[in-house]
Amino acid sequence: MEKAKKINFFKRLKMAIFQLENYIEFINERLYKAIGFCIKMTIVCSIIIVISNAIFIYKKYGSPTKYVDNMVPNFSYEENDLKIDEKDAKSSENKEMVATVMKKIKPSLVTVLGDSSYNKALLIKDIEANERQVIIIAGVAIFLESLIEIFSFWIILAIMTSVIGWLVLSFSRLKMRYSKLFALSIYASTLTTVISVIYILLNSFFGIYIEVFDYLSMLIAYIYITAVIYMIKSDLIKQQMELIRIATVQAKVKEQLKEEDNKDTEEKEKKDNKDGDKKEEKKKDNEVLNDEPDGSEI
């Protein structure tokens, strides 16, 4: 396995959304890297939601008290009994929704308030007196709620995406450990999660609603993982072809070197034979010279 390269958060985000061809780099990483990216991205999205809510409330209502006045219906709590003004509750969708929530948490209200008396006017007064603390508590509550919801949504989406990825791997005849596939699925689900957060904000603030949004957003993740797997397969085929090409070139070079060695050996043998012949001829010449009469013989 190749050593994983260090990738910073912003580059990782850019790769996850725009650079599918670079997903192969994520395969060399451990699963905790992908989960860590998911957590960091979830924190960023949760902070954006908190800030967006604060801006929206102050821009539209001017203060938390006016926001509560427009969101909470008239109510009174006396002698362990919660009474909600149904007419006021039905005056707006937001008040009706809050009224429904108040009815559901009535047992908790009884536990907290006990035998005391309480109403909407006292609620607004308490918020005015402790506005800073209320803002902090509300901000933390929204942050934690968003954190849990986004992270849960992302992990569930990644699991569903990994199932699609497993089917694609089966058709592609590729083998991949599930931890690697799940990591790729987390990155493939990034754009869907970001779009979902944006849609939640638009829906909350401006009432924008798209009936098939959930299906379309999940489809993006499925398309991403499918495209990524086929890109990885293509890269693997290219790598195999490159390895075959290199092996072929190496074999040719090895053959050429072998031929050159054989040629050098043959030339050396020829040279040695030639030198041997010369020595033999020289030896014969010397013998002939030695056999000639020197003039002293009769």
Per-residue tokens: 278: 């010369």
Q: Are 166 and 17 contacting, i.e. CB atoms less than 8 angstroms apart?
A: no
* pLDDT confidence of residue 285: 55
How many domains does one find in the chain? 1
Per-residue tokens: 178: 């599930």
Per-residue tokens: 276: 């041997």
* pTM, two decimal places: 0.77
Task: Report pLDDT digits (tens) over 162-220.
Answer: 999 999 999 988 889 999 999 999 999 999 999 999 999 999 888 888 888 989 999 99
* pLDDT confidence of residue 282: 60
What range defines the domain where residue 141 resides? 12-225
* pLDDT confidence of residue 192: 96
**Is residue 129 in some structural domain?**
yes
Q: Are 187 and 26 contacting, i.e. CB atoms less than 8 angstroms apart?
A: yes
**Is residue 255 in some structural domain?**
no
Q: Which residue ranges in the chain fall short of pLDDT 70?
A: 1-4, 240, 264, 266-298
* pLDDT confidence of residue 298: 37
Q: How far apart (Å, rounded) are the C-alpha atoms in residues 141 and 135? A: 10
Q: Are 85 and 72 contacting, i.e. CB atoms less than 8 angstroms apart?
A: no
**Is residue 157 in some structural domain?**
yes
DSSP per position, 231-247: HHHHHHHHHHHHHHHHH
φ/ψ of 176, rounded to 5, equals -150, 135
Q: For residue 55, what is the enclosing H or E element?
A: helix 31-60
φ/ψ of 82, rounded to 5, equals -100, 125
Q: Are 185 and 225 contacting, i.e. CB atoms less than 8 angstroms apart?
A: yes
Residues 6+ apart with CB under 8 A from 44: none
**Is residue 207 in some structural domain?**
yes
**Is residue 136 in some structural domain?**
yes
3-state secondary structure of 72: coil
**Is residue 208 in some structural domain?**
yes
* pLDDT confidence of residue 174: 87
**Is residue 3 in some structural domain?**
no
Instruction: Count CB-CB contacts under 10 A for residue 75.
Output: 19
Which residue type sits at 266?
E
- Between the CA of residue 254 and those of 21, 258, 260, 264, what are the distances in Å? 36, 6, 10, 15
**Is residue 71 in some structural domain?**
yes
Under DSSP, the state recorded for 145 is H
